[in-house]
Amino acid sequence: MIRYHLKELIAEKEFAERRRITIGEIAKETGINRMTLSKIINHPGHSTVTDNLDRLCYYFDCEIEQLVTHIKDV
């Protein structure tokens, strides 16, 4: 399963910029639909296209490893 760290990245960006960041703002800046962002945040294992991952890495100025982690099924 893939685990997204979007909540953590939002919290870090909010702290660094000392302001609140909304899903709507991220959607506007990245071009990713708000519903897609909501699913990534709230539904573990949600599948999304690599273009969205690329846009999120660019927005948060992070590496893919900071955005997603692979969790092995046992």
Q: What is the pLDDT of residues 5-22, one digit of tens each?
A: 999 999 999 999 999 999
Q: Kindly give the residue spans of alpha helices, DSSP state H, lying in 21-71.
A: 23-30, 34-42, 50-60, 64-67
Helices and strands (DSSP H and E) totals, the chain:
5, 2
Beta-bridged to residue 68, according to DSSP, are 4
**pTM for the structure as a whole:** 0.90
Q: What is the pLDDT of residues 36-69, one digit of tens each?
A: 999 999 988 889 999 999 999 999 999 999 999 9
